[in-house]
A and B are shown apart, each in its own frame.
Chain A
């Protein structure tokens, strides 16, 4: 089926962004309204598409729209074309829905910023690029959106780039992402060289005939791409620093949408991973490592945004793990992605609301006892908290439990390792999230003098409330009668595999809840029963110190890549100057003519040049004369 209206999804926010950027200061008064309307209209188009889709039967729900022929050289033919299917509509609604809420929130949050118009221009640019990412019908179209969101992310992390550390954070994110993008471009190259196509439908068709080796190579390169964009091990180091961006950005880009693009990429490429078990296993391993990695960092952070960022990294680890478990896990990876989109965006907006009242303070050791002063923020944040730690009937319970269950069902040693890792992660999540909530909203007041906590204006709390509603209801809706799984089945499930049950769902749920209770309990003992200090204690174990330094991720990158790279670069600059250019100059000096030319540079270089021309001309004519004789 084709549709003529898919392009509006992208065009509306793209035009909004262009208008805001080109109009400049003239748009300062109305720019934020236009941008919010653009995002909102895109959401309406998305709802319309969704309703159309519901009216069609399962196999006919996907629609496409060819815009124009983009690149066509020899057999390399790529159209600018869009495709909306059951998988991409989930993202479209998440991106435009949550995106619009965050636009609304930002109107108030950024109201004192002189550059608010520029902020909204970037937000709209992001929405357009992210929609292109999920709507492109080929890997190359996806690539445009993929780097487009990277650009928007760079611009927004560095929104306040007059601060050097923020500018560095933006650059770091771009470069880490570029390493991932290298993977994506290699995947596309391998795909064209081996399968002769780069469109999703083409690759899906050809994948059956391809060798496992080729598919494994493509799969691993796609995984590299996913680790960059989704802050997964080993390309995770940029996400914490990315919190330099304004908090609505952290909510939208670095929690709900962009960072989940890696999950989209892997689920979208299910036909590759299902035929390349090694690559698929690597996906699951990366997810499992990252979910622990992020959770451990989350335990040690005092900066509320960095703690939430670590949590995002960990939760995306769950999604990647789910996606790495194949057809059994794809739907639950997407389910967790959607529920996480609600509760994590909600909590980030809550953190922004807290910062708004606390003079932009992010150190939780300067918070405490805020629940009385910010009741709505506390309530909505609390719902998000219950959702993320997986308390029934909140959303995270449904989605995370399912991933843990599927992890066990992977069977054998693999099943035990992935299952136990996911369970352990759940316990740690419960611990660090409880710690975060207690340090912020409960206990004694540890505020700075400048802090005047108050509830945020309605433009800010209404989006928070709506996201909280999603955090309550979405898990139930998605799992009711396996609705999301059935919805996605035409895209991600090929044949029904027989599922082995290592542990029954009830056992998994009970185990998970017990561990969550344990995590909550320890956090309560540690942070509610004993007083939280205004300064982070220094006499802590080496493990805490390492965790506070993000498990030495920056130290590692600097020691292994950055400093040696700088040394090599500096050495090459010298080599170029003294060895290569030196050799050339040496050769030049050896020849008499050039030597004299160099000597005459100061005075008569025009004459020496004329000499050369003359000599050349004479030589030319003479040679030809001799030759024809």
Chain B
């Protein structure tokens, strides 16, 4: 038994307890879910304190033989990047449960089932970030789809069934490509000294550049769909539009990070040469995502779709940082994953509360909320400022690191991406003006402000956003060694300042 396995088993145990409950005891089910997620958060924090931050080897390693015939192990172990993402998912889960206290009502199935799905999903998320066996990773990667599919299709609104199927088909398509690539790796490992799915062993495989490129693409497309990167993004707005706000938070805030996490942990590590080959293409797609996502966000009329498109823009930044192949880019991208989780959570939860009160998430249905529901309006404003990366809030640090890290290697890409700074101001301030400012429009006069439960749910999220804006070191200290390690594994080192090369040249003369 070790930290990771305990962590993964807690939500599963909670789910078992819930399944034994009668369907009628809804309040008890909610309480059990809340206690379970809080326990996971507590254990995750305790685990983080035991993490040796300067050790780049996987930690909390545990390996059990699972299917020996195929050389498959139930092997786990995490580096700093995975730790940060496990923290993200563990900290957001109780917030989601508390914030969406009444979200499950009106679903296709019972309230209890909703929380069982959430808890099972949490186990799988922990698993997918912890796995150090490619097959195990794949199992979690695919199995995650099941609870999410039921959460969207069963507890969403509007065209939820269609959105759930769209999400599923996209994901299965990506998963299929990845499966083919995994099998390819497995075959290669058999040819070179024994079948294995162990990541460390697979990273030492010799392969021709064609093989490497094809296998890389198998993984990358799966991750690009999950993240999502333009042009694989069209499932996300539909899913976010239909899912309940809490589900959207888990989907955009945590699940989609599996895609960008996979790019670092699998694409770069297993296929360093192919990563290099495809970098120009991926950088281009990332920059398109940033600008395209932002412009589409500006054009949205619905809060949920708007937030979904801002996320596409943000995922562009994360992808850009990863493939810039600099320490700043890589660390910035990882920090960005964490920060985006929190700022999107804040945006989605408050937008969800607004929509629940008004019975609509259409932006033009709102108006003048700042004077009717000041605390709700301020929470949204705060989250919006984080989304547009205002200095002093957490997203600024990560966005700037990505940009500066990209600029040192790909200045043109960084300059174009930087225009996202201006577009972000537009996509945040336009809806803020329409919904929060101006005179109070008919239908909004008697909306109620946040209640105590909602305040308790949103306050820690906003506090984390503020504190990490000024003091990101606790996370950066954990991320940096892992980011540096993954850069050097991919065969890169940070470009030196051009002035240094000048002066060394002079010395050489």
Interface of A with B (CB < 8 Å)?
68-76, 80, 140, 143-144, 146-148, 151, 158, 161-164, 167-168, 170-171, 174-175, 178-179, 181-182, 185-186, 188-190, 192-197, 206, 209-211, 214, 568-570, 572-573, 576, 580-581, 584, 588, 594, 597-598, 601-602, 605, 609, 612-613, 616, 619-620, 623-624, 627-628
Residue in A68, A76, A619 whose CB lies within 8 Å of B471: A68
- Check B418–A182 contact: CB distance below 8 A: yes
Cβ of A568: which chain B residues have Cβ within 8 Å of it? 295
Minimal Cβ-Cβ distance residue in A for B297: A569
- How distant is the Cα of A197 from the Cα of B149 in the complex, in angstroms? 48
B292 at the interface (CB under 8 A from A): yes
Any A CB within 8 A of the CB of B49: no
Interface string of B375-402 (1 = CB under 8 A from A): 0000000000100001110001100110
| 21 CB-based A-B contacts, threshold 8 Å | A69-B473, A71-B472, A71-B476, A72-B476, A73-B476, A73-B480, A74-B480, A76-B401, A143-B391, A147-B392, A151-B390, A158-B437, A171-B430, A178-B425, A194-B497, A194-B498, A572-B299, A573-B299, A576-B296, A605-B165, A624-B186
How many Å lie between the Cα of A244 and that of B446 in the bound state? 28
Task: Name the one of A174, A182, A194, A609 contacting B429, with C-beta atoms under 8 angstroms.
Answer: A174
Interface of B is mostly: helix
| Chain B 271-325 residues near chain A, CB threshold 8 A | 292, 295-296, 298-300
Which residues of B does A touch, CB under 8 Å? 69-70, 142, 146, 149, 153, 161-162, 164-165, 168-170, 172, 175-176, 179, 183, 186-187, 190, 195, 231, 234, 292, 295-296, 298-300, 326-328, 331-332, 368, 370-371, 385, 390-392, 396-397, 400-401, 403-405, 407-408, 411, 414-415, 418-419, 421-422, 425-426, 429-430, 433, 437-440, 470-473, 476, 480, 483-484, 494-500, 502-503
CA distance A179 to B190 in the complex (A): 56
Tell me the smallest distance from the CB of A338 to a CB of chain B, in Å: 27
Say yes or no: B404 contacts A189, CB within 8 Å: yes
Q: Are A628 and B69 in contact (CB under 8 A)?
A: yes
Specify which chain A residues have a CB less than 8 angstroms from the CB of B498 in the assembled complex: 193-194, 211, 214
State A209–B505 Cα separation when bound (angstroms): 12
* Chain B contacts for A197, CB-based, 8 A: 497
Nearest-neighbour CB distance to chain B for A215, whole angstroms, equals 11
B370 partner, pick from A147, A161, A570, A624, beta carbons under 8 A: A161
Specify which of B179, B437, B471 lies most central, judged by the most chain A CB atoms within 10 Å of its CB. B437
Whether B426 contacts A175 by the Cβ 8 Å rule is yes
Which DSSP category, helix, strand, loop or mixed, fits chain A's interface?
Answer: helix
The 8 closest A-B pairs by CB, nearest first: A196-B497, A74-B327, A167-B437, A581-B234, A189-B407, A161-B437, A144-B391, A573-B299
Looking across the interface, which residue of chain B has its beta carbon closest to that of A144?
B391
What B residues does A71 contact at CB under 8 A? 397, 400-401, 472, 476
CA A595 to CA B421, docked complex, whole Å: 41
Contact A147 B391 (CB under 8 A): yes
| Contact in complex: B404, A76 (CB < 8 Å) | yes
Docked CA distance A210–B292 (Å): 36
Q: Is the CB of B371 within 8 A of A162?
A: yes
User: When the two chains form the complex, which single residue of B411, B484, B497 contacts A195, counting CB atoms closer than 8 Å?
Assistant: B497
Closest to B149 in A: A609
Q: How far is the CA of A144 from the CA of B77 in the complex (A)?
A: 38
Q: Closest Cβ of chain A: how far from B376's Cβ, in Å?
A: 14
Since A175-B426, A193-B408 are in contact, a sample of 19 more A-B pairs with Cβ atoms closer than 8 Å, ordered by chain A residue number, is A72-B473, A73-B328, A73-B331, A73-B332, A73-B401, A76-B401, A151-B385, A179-B422, A182-B421, A194-B497, A196-B496, A209-B502, A584-B170, A605-B153, A609-B149, A616-B142, A619-B179, A624-B183, A627-B183
Chain A residue with the shortest CB-CB distance to B487: A74
**Contact A189–B430 (Cβ < 8 Å):** no
Q: How far is A161 from B371 in the complex, measured between Cα atoms in Å?
A: 10
Q: Complex: how many Å from CA A168 to CA B438?
A: 9
In this complex, the member of B300, B415, B422 whose beta carbon has the largest number of chain A beta carbons within 10 angstroms is B422
Contact call B499/A195, Cβ cutoff below 8 A: yes
A74 proximity list for chain B (CB < 8 A): 326-328, 331, 480, 484, 494
A residues less than 8 Å from B331 (CB atoms):
73-74
B234 & A580 in contact (Cβ 8 Å cutoff): yes
A608 nearest CB neighbor, chain B only: B165
Which listed residue (B169, B179, B368) contacts A597, Cβ 8 A? B169
Q: Measured between alpha carbons, how far is A71 from B394 in the docked complex, in Å?
A: 11
Identify which of A72, A146, A601 contacts B162 (C-beta below 8 A).
A601
> A624 to chain B: which residues have CB within 8 Å?
70, 183, 186
The answer for the CA separation of A468 and B497 in the assembled complex, in Å, is 50
Residues B179 and A186 in contact, CB atoms below 8 Å apart: no
User: Which of B165, B186, B195, B500 has a CB less than 8 Å from the CB of A601?
Assistant: B165
* Chain B nearest CB, measured from A320 CB (Å): 22
Compute how far the CA of A163 lies from the CA of B392 in the bound complex, rounded to whole angstroms.
29
Instruction: Flag if B183 contacts A185 (CB, 8 Å).
Output: no
Residues of A within 8 A of B419 (CB): 182
Q: Which of A181, A588, A601 contacts B161 (CB 8 A)?
A: A601
B165 A597 Cβ-Cβ under 8 A:
yes
Contact of A193 with B299 in the complex, beta carbons under 8 Å: no
Contact assessment for A148 and B391 in the assembled complex, using a CB-CB cutoff below 8 Å: yes
The residues of A that contact B401 with a CB separation of less than 8 Å are 71, 73, 76
**Residues of A close to B495: CB separation below 8 A:** 193
Q: Are A584 and B234 touching (Cβ within 8 A)?
A: yes
Set of chain A residues within 8 Å of B327, measured between Cβ atoms: 73-76
Q: B416: shortest Cβ distance to chain A, in Å?
A: 11
Chain B residues whose C-beta falls within 8 Å of the C-beta of A601 in the assembled complex? 161-162, 165
Docked-complex contact B421 and A616, CB < 8 angstroms:
no
The closest CB in chain A to the CB of B397 belongs to A71
Would you call B404 and A188 a contact (CB within 8 A)? yes
Nearest-neighbor residue (CB-CB) of A145 within chain B: B391
Contacts of B153 in A (CB 8 A): 605
Residue on A nearest B143 in the bound complex, by CB: A613
Give bound CA distance, A71 to B332, whole Å: 10
Is A190 a contact of B397 with CB atoms below 8 Å?
no
Cα-based distance from A570 to B299 in the complex (angstroms): 6
Kindly provide the distance from the CB of B302 to the nearest chain A CB, expressed in whole angstroms.
Answer: 12
* Least CB separation from A602: chain B residue: B161
* Contact A572:B296 (CB < 8 A) given known A605-B164, A623-B183: yes
- Would B186 and A162 count as touching, CB distance under 8 A? no
A167 to B415, CA, bound (A): 30
Residues of B within 8 A of A147 (CB): 390-392
Cβ–Cβ contact A627 & B328, under 8 A: no
Question: How distant is B353 from chain A, measured CB to nearest CB, in Å?
Answer: 19
Which residues of chain B have C-beta atoms less than 8 A from A602's C-beta?
161
**What is the bound-complex CA distance between A594 and B183, given in angstroms?**
23
Q: List the B side residues contacting A190 at CB < 8 Å.
A: 407
Query: Which interface residue of B164, B190, B470, B498 has the most chain A CB atoms within 10 A?
Result: B498
A185 touches B421 (CB 8 A): yes
B390 near A164 with CB under 8 A, answer no
Residues of B within 8 A of A76 (CB): 327-328, 401, 404-405
Task: Determine if B407 and A576 form an interchain contact, defined as CB atoms under 8 angstroms apart.
Answer: no
Of A163, A185, A188, most B-chain CB atoms within 10 Å: A185
Q: Assess whether A162 is in contact with B172, with CB atoms less than 8 Å apart.
A: no
Shortest Cβ distance from B172 into A: residue = A612
Our pick among B190, B292, B471, B483 for the contact of A572 (Cβ within 8 Å) is B292
Alpha-carbon distance A211/B231, docked complex (angstroms): 40
Q: Is the CB of A569 within 8 A of B298?
A: yes
Q: How far is the CA of A568 from the CA of B411 in the complex (A)?
A: 25
Complex: chain A residue closest to B426, CB-CB = A175
Find chain B residues with CB under 8 A from A146 CB: 391
Given contacts A158-B437, A174-B429, contact A605 B500 (CB under 8 A): no
Q: How far is the CB of B425 from chain A (nearest CB, A)?
A: 4
A438 and B292 alpha carbons, distance in the complex (Å):
53
Residues of B within 8 A of A597 (CB): 165, 168-169
- A189 engages B437 (CB within 8 Å): no
| Residues of A with C-beta under 8 A to B403 | 185, 189
A55 CB → nearest B CB, Å? 33
Q: Within the assembled complex, what's the spacing in Å between the Cα atoms of A196 and B500?
A: 8
Smallest distance from the beta carbon of A535 to chain B beta carbons, Å? Answer: 29
Cβ contact within 8 Å between B430 and A164? no
